[in-house]
Structure 1
Amino acid sequence: MGSESALFQQLDKLHKHSNQGSLQTRYRYYEGAKRFAVFAATTYKLQKFANLKDKHLLAYVKSMQSKGLSASTIKTDLSAIRFFYDLTGNQRPLIDNKTLSASLEDGLERRSFGKVPRAWTSFEIDAAKIRAIALGETALASTISFAATFGLRIHETIRLDRDHLTRALRDDYLTIKGKGGLLREIPMTTKGRLLIQDTLVTASSGKLFVSDGQKAHQVIKHIENWIYTHRSHFTQGDRTLTYHGLRHTYAQERYAYHVERLHDEYTARLTVSRELGHGRDEVTRIYLAGMES
């Protein structure tokens, strides 16, 4: 039996007989331990999880760092490895994170994307919508929801009409024409579907946010002025909130989702970049500013 198969069989057995922690945590640890098993089998021909040594952990961390994985991802995988190592019954403790960090050139410190955080928090989004509705700005509150839920630019939001939303429910993605006429398909989430369904209940035909007699640029200016005037009432901290910051919120939520799904930060960033409609990794990093990677 090969090293990888041997380690997988051991992990399967330990996983099936473990009832420690939540189901979600055990599954996440199981997946993390399997990734380590592939590395250990390939690099060291390790065949018994109970024979794990500090050098194996150190080498694996260096490998993960070389791939650009975040400190949080690395630490979670280390927890997964220790979890299954403890289940083997081996009483010899493995190297801890503090000692590991001291053995690494860059340590295990947390890092952040970018330098200027623009994303709105969920509290700020809810507080802004509540204030808008209280002041009779129901449509404006809805534009905030669409920008944060689908990552829309302000001009993309106000172009939305009933047909856009109806097709989105049918296709399971929202089709948007962005800068330069570039079309992109934004995946439908549960939150997005509920938002569209709720909006269609009251939406009339035609544009959702530009009334008869209004010009698009007038609506855009009104939204921007409203946020400028009222943001002190819902901003947490000393950031300067703008409508475009809602797109940052979307980017960060989608990035976190794709990292968890793909276990690859670079691929996750490229996936987000396509959803945002720009396709460049360096731009996505700007949207992730202030987010612990």
Structure 2
Amino acid sequence: MNKLGYDFMQMCRRNRDGSQTTQYQRSRSLRAMSNELQTLGYRNLRAESLKPKHVEALVDHWRQGGVSDATLKNRLAHVRWWAEKVGKSSVVPRDNSALGVADRSYATQGNKAQELDPRVTSIPDERIQVSLVLQREFGLRREESMKIKPASADQGDRLVLQGSWTKGGRERDIPIRTETQRAALNRAHRLAGPGSLIPAEKSYAQHLKRYEYLLGQAGLSRMHGLRHAYAQARYLELTGRAAPAAGGIASRELTPEQRTVDHEARLVISRELGHEREQITMIYLGR
């Protein structure tokens, strides 16, 4: 038994959550994970060592092994239990879809892409307006669109995001391809100067609170659909056809040649969105 497996055994003995069947399944699942992580090259791990890369490595390993979504959900429930017990709940996304594991009902939920609403211009804070524009033009997450420092990120032909701005600390590049992207960046430069789009006198938490309040005042709420719109626009550009979620051909109906192009496009889009797994693009593009 490796060190991580030993930690799991002790955790399960101390925490008798759920029925006996649940406890047995959880213990068995966690022991298997300790061995899988060791096989994947993560040696000498302890329970407190849990990081996003370990969760993603497990999900990718299970995917490659042909594990069904239903089984993946069960295993992720055990990973969340692990994360909770070591005080790292934030390491595992609350929504399985963030890991490319969609609920059965997801495919019927329709296209979640959204373009910039005209009401954005009524928001009485131009920094927040620009953050929303950057979310649409570059597929940025909300936090990234606030923490970004245009003076250092703008490399002329690409946007380089530093790990301190991004989820999981992953640096990434996003190509600057269009005039609207350049216009958005020029506007961000003017507002941020050498800093970020968070005012110097405010913390991220304070600015986020203002962001949420002003969006609510404008009648807007979650704007994650802007990332969906970016992904679908890139898919159209890279493949020459609309994404399945936008009314395009479903993946199962593609020719072998089209499947190759589809796969390559999804890998590109996944990286630009800050992911490394092709499977997660079904959330944005459909299947």
Q: What TM-score, normalized to structure 1? A: 0.49
SS state at 1:225 partner? helix
**Residue 114 of structure 1: how far off its partner (Å):** 6.2
Aligned to 1:128: 119
Does the aligned pair in 1 maintain the 2:136–2:227 contact within 8 Å?
A: yes
C-alpha RMSD of the superposition = 2.6
Contact 1:255 1:269 in 2 (8 A): yes
Identity %: 29
Q: Which runs of 4+ in 1 moved over 4 A?
A: none
SS at 2:279's partner residue?
helix
Matched, 1:160 2:148: yes
Superposed displacement of residue 162, structure 1: 3.8
Letter paired with 2:182: R
Partner of residue 173, structure 2: 185
The aligned length equals 161
Q: Closer, same or farther in 2 for the Cα pair 1:267/1:115, shift >3 Å?
A: farther
Q: Does 1:175 align with 2:160?
A: yes
- Paired residue type of 2:174: I
Pick the aligned partner of 1:225 from 209, 213, 221. Answer: 213
Does the 8 A contact of 2:127 with 2:191 survive in 1? no
Distance 1:153 1:202, change over 3 A: closer
CA shift in 2, pair 1:162/1:280, >3 Å: closer
Contact residue 114 and residue 288 of structure 1 kept, 8 A: no
Residue matched to 2:112:
118
**Which position in structure 1 is the counterpart of 2:266?**
269
Alignment-mate amino acid for residue 198 of structure 1: R
For 1:194 and 1:115, locate their aligned partners in 2 and report how far apart those are by CA, in whole Å: 33
Out of 272, 275, 279, the position equivalent to 1:278 is: 275
Alpha carbons 1:153, 1:244 under 8 Å: kept: yes
**Amino acid in structure 2 at the alignment position of 1:128:** R
Aligned to 1:288: 285
Structure 2: gaps (5+ residues): 1-105, 242-256
Q: Could you say which residue in structure 1 is the equivalent of 2:132?
A: 144
Give how far 1:147 is off. 0.6
Higher relative contact order (Cα pairs below 8 Å, separated by 6+ residues): 1
Q: Separation in 1 of the partners of 2:275 and 2:208?
A: 21
Tell me whether 1:204 sits opposite 2:189 in the alignment: no
| SS of equivalent to 2:219 | helix
Partners of 1:227 and 1:252 in 2: how far apart? 24
Could you tell me whether the CA contact under 8 Å between 2:139 and 2:226 is conserved in 1?
Answer: yes
Q: Would you say 1:254 and 2:234 are equivalent positions?
A: yes
Alpha-carbon distance change, 211 to 156 in structure 1, aligned in 2, over 3 angstroms: same
Q: Deviations over 1:204-250 (max 9, x none)?
A: 3322x211221101212322333334336xxxxxxxx5122211111
Among residues 233, 244, 249, which one is paired with 2:224 in the alignment?
244
Of the structure 1 ranges 155-164 and 222-231, higher mean CA displacement relative to structure 2 is found in 222-231
Q: Is the 8 A contact 1:224 1:243 kept in 2?
A: no
What secondary structure, in the 3-state scheme, does the structure 2 residue paired with 1:268 have?
helix
1:257 alignment partner AA: E
AA matched with 1:183: E
Deviations 1:53-77 (A, max 9, x none): xxxxxxxxxxxxxxxxxxxxxxxxx
The code of the aligned residue for 1:158 comes to M
- 1:113–1:288 CA contact under 8 A, matched in 2: no
How far apart, CA to CA, are the structure 2 residues paired with 1:222 and 1:120? 22
CA contact (8 A) 2:151 2:193 kept: no
TM-superposition CA deviations, 1:114-148 (whole Å, max 9, x none): 63432213xxx14032222xxx2211111111110
SS of 1:271's equivalent in the other structure is helix
